[in-house]
Amino acid sequence: MNNRKVFLWSIVVALGGFLFGFDTAVISGAEKAIQQYWSLNVFEHGLTVSIALIGTVIGALFGGIPSDRLGRKTTLFWIALLYLLSAIGSAVATDWYVFLFSRFIGGLGVGASSVTAPMYITEISPAKSRGRLVALFQFNIVFGILVSYLSNYALQGIGEDAWRWMLGVEALPALLFLITILGVPESPRWLITKKGEVEKARAVLAQIDPANADAIVSDVITTHQLVQDSPSESLFSAKYRTPVMLAVLFAVFNQVSGINAIIYYAPRIFEMTGLGTSSALLSSAGVGLINFIFTLLAMNFIDRFGRRVLMLIGSVGLIVTLGLVARSFYVQDFSGMTVPIYLFIYIAFFAFSQGAVIWVFISEIFPNEVRASGQALGSFTHWLMAAIIAFTFPYIADTFGGGNTFLFFSIMMVLQLLFVWRIMPETKGTSLEQIERTIVAH
């Protein structure tokens, strides 16, 4: 088995995750300067912060279409181009509408990459290491978030154009992604099920796992033939109700944990608890660092202990830490670093569970025939919820207070714990075709 090649291809594709993380979090350090630069009112400011998320929702919703029609590799190339144009456009914009458009197309790239990149890695990975390889995508997301926080902290003092540099440095990794994606092969499962190019697929699989290439090809063809012989059914037919339900619930729970509210508004949350601006920015970098470390840990456990064990541990940790943050707001206990420490522990539990598992699990549970549309549904649900929470968080926190807001997130994690315990299946170490036979009701 040529794990080195698969690992290198996964690293290249996971660069889409790095850009995803960087693009998502970089706005947190620039949003105040941008608000002042264009003298934005509350609505315009909210739109400026969330416009990339609106693009992400649309990119996620439609990302499955080019993935199926053009192929996974070609779609990733166009995603890289969107990231590059977005970074340059955001950095040089002198008109607010040009800035909005640039951030919007970057969001399209984020949404489409959250569909295509995990799916591609899933389709080229051996079953025994699939969790770890797909988790590379999430690892790169949190690495991108960390780098954006550190970059924002480093650039904050260089003058009134600091925000332009914060947004513009993304062009460098975007260009690297654009060039390196040309060197990866097309997904063998896409070649067989969408193009009928069996020999091309066999050649790719021979580079990945020469001993089992023929057996994998045969299994994919057999499973595909069973689908072809049965009446054609859409993603929302009764046949696929189980994976659809699993993907939607998983994506909703990912966001009602409050993760994106905390990542986007970390400096503001820390300022609410009495930290100065510089300390708040540095604490935000701490969030990014802990996210990074615990995603790395989860990558090493996801194929060993399985997806469910990580989710059970994480759910309990999230319930407790969110409850403690809520308590701090209720009793106004903001002494020292109490709330930042609770949030650091919260991030650790999130990264070890939901963060590491979501893209792996959603990309595994759908059959080859509907994987692109299924992945798009899960990703769309995730980003729609993220947009709603990011857009409403400042209003909700102001209206209902920090205590009630964080208590709501904690209660949602109790429901997630019940979902994992009672409903979520284990997928570790199982071939995609075997998962299909187990989960999908034929």
pLDDT one-digit tens code per residue, 38-76:
888 888 888 888 888 889 889 999 999 999 999 999 999
Which residue ranges make up each domain of the chain? 3-184+230-439, 188-229
pLDDT one-digit tens code per residue, 365-394:
998 889 999 999 999 999 889 878 877 887
Mean pLDDT of 9-17: 94
Among 114, 10, 120, smallest CA distance to 62 is for: 114
| For helices 277-301 and 130-155, angle between their N-to-C axes, nearest 10 degrees | 170
The residue with greater pLDDT, 202 or 277, is: 202
The pLDDT of residue 102: 96
Question: Tokens in use for 165?
Answer: 């540099």
Could you tell me the sign of the dihedral formed by the alpha carbons of 296, 297, 298, 301, in that order?
positive
- Say which residues have a Cβ less than 8 Å from residue 270's Cβ, sequence separation at least 6: 279, 280, 283, 284, 339, 340
- Say which residues have a Cβ less than 8 Å from residue 146's Cβ, sequence separation at least 6: 21, 285, 288, 289, 291, 292
The pLDDT of residue 272: 65
The per-residue pLDDT of the chain, averaged, comes to 88
Mean pLDDT of 25-38: 85
Q: What is the 3-state secondary structure (H, E, C) of 193-246?
A: HHHCCHHHHHHHHHHHCCCCHHHHHHHHHHHHHHHHHCCCCCCCCHHHHHHHHH
The pLDDT of residue 425: 94
**Is residue 442 very low, low, confident or very high in pLDDT (cuts 50, 70, 90)?**
very low
CATH class of 3-184+230-439: mainly alpha
The pLDDT of residue 287: 77
Contact 56, 111 (CB under 8 A): yes
d(CA 414, CA 425): 18
The residue with greater pLDDT, 318 or 260, is: 318
Q: Which DSSP letter does residue 303 get?
A: T
| Identity of residue 370 | V
The residue with greater pLDDT, 234 or 373, is: 373
| Residue 157 backbone phi and psi in degrees, to 5 | -100, 15
